[in-house]
Amino acid sequence: MGLFGGNKAEKPKTKSATGSDSWWDRIRKKDPSSLPIGTEVSPWRMIRERYVEIAIRALYSRIIFSTLDIVDIPKEISRSDFSRTVYDSHTPKLKCGLAHYIVDAMADSSSLILRKKAMQGRTKAYFFSELPNKGEEKDADLLEIDFTDYERTELLEEYYGMVFDSIIGMARLIKVGGAILFKVSDLSDLIADREVLLAVETQLKQVNQALEEGRAGYIDSESEVEMPTVDTKPAVSQLHFAFSLICNATGRPMSFVNGEIAASLGSTGEGDRKQNRNASIYEFNSILRGVFESVFGADFDVKPDIENLPQLSDFMTSIEMSSLINDDEKRRILSQYMSLDDYGISLSNSTKSS
């Protein structure tokens, strides 16, 4: 078995009269377990708990801010005041908005007590600061947010743990895929002889060094150096399954959870949009509505869905021209989709009243 060129030969295998020659000492200590390892697989340094915490917080943040898009702000509250209250402000220094505290409480399954203070020069804008306990400031305007029994977070902790495990497995495969396999001919027979084992170890070290430095070297004709082929399909399937569980827990489509767009020529994304809107309506009614009405002292509702306005117009025309339905029935049907009184729509003369 040939060695790499350009290196000094090992010391001749002769034992001195005193028996203290270091060569023989090295031979006696040789063991197959001491052979060098060319690849150490340590794909990720982030611990599992930290990844799960960051992932859940990021998901809740997307959910809350996506839900804010469908909130219909009351007329008595300006959009500027609403934005300054709900969103973070980074100038002149960071002030956390109401949404920030909601996301924190959801992710930690905890309860918060916030002190509300009005912003100077604003009519309906507020900023918040967290209080350790409710009795600290008796005269303060307080807002309580309680997610201690929010069971969804427990599910997401398990599901994102599965995501982390899948990513670790895939990262390990990617790491191994970039490794080098050095197939030494008859290695099992060679390492049985401790004297030959030293030569094998020397060649392995030289191979590793040559590959790291990108220089030429020599091995015998029956040995091989190659890169391994890895199959990532099982890890991808595991990852997809874990994300599907997260979709089920949140009511959101896969495109929302992991950014995966359905690869179909017939897909327009309308199904995902409707699913997102329905999930946002649920989040608004179960979380945001009560908080906003408590903060602003006004009634909040959801914006009408105008994405399908052309289809709705055709539908209204068909209903209005039907002779099988009376006016009261027509009004009842159409009122399920829009507020007829707000738009001044009269079904009797098919015109908007002045």
Write out pLDDT tens, residues 193-211: 666 666 667 777 777 777 6
User: How many whole angstroms separate alpha carbon 46 and alpha carbon 53?
Assistant: 11
- Which pLDDT does position 52 carry in this prediction? 94
- Which pLDDT does position 288 carry in this prediction? 95
User: How many whole angstroms separate alpha carbon 235 and alpha carbon 255?
Assistant: 19
What angle do helix axes 98-108 and 48-68 make, rounded to 10 degrees? Answer: 140
User: How many whole angstroms separate alpha carbon 140 and alpha carbon 344?
Assistant: 44
Of 210, 233, 260, 235, nearest in space to 43 by CA:
235
User: How many whole angstroms separate alpha carbon 108 and alpha carbon 337?
Assistant: 37
- Which pLDDT does position 205 carry in this prediction? 76
- Which pLDDT does position 155 carry in this prediction? 95
Query: Tokens at residue 3, please?
Result: 């060695």
Of 132, 137, 135, nearest in space to 111 by CA:
132
- pLDDT < 50: residue spans in the chain: 1-12, 18, 24, 38-41, 349-354
- Which pLDDT does position 202 carry in this prediction? 74
Contact status, residue 287 vs residue 98, Cβ threshold 8 Å? no
- Which pLDDT does position 5 carry in this prediction? 43
CA angle 50-55-57, nearest 5°?
100
- Which pLDDT does position 39 carry in this prediction? 45
- Which pLDDT does position 163 carry in this prediction? 94
pTM: 0.68
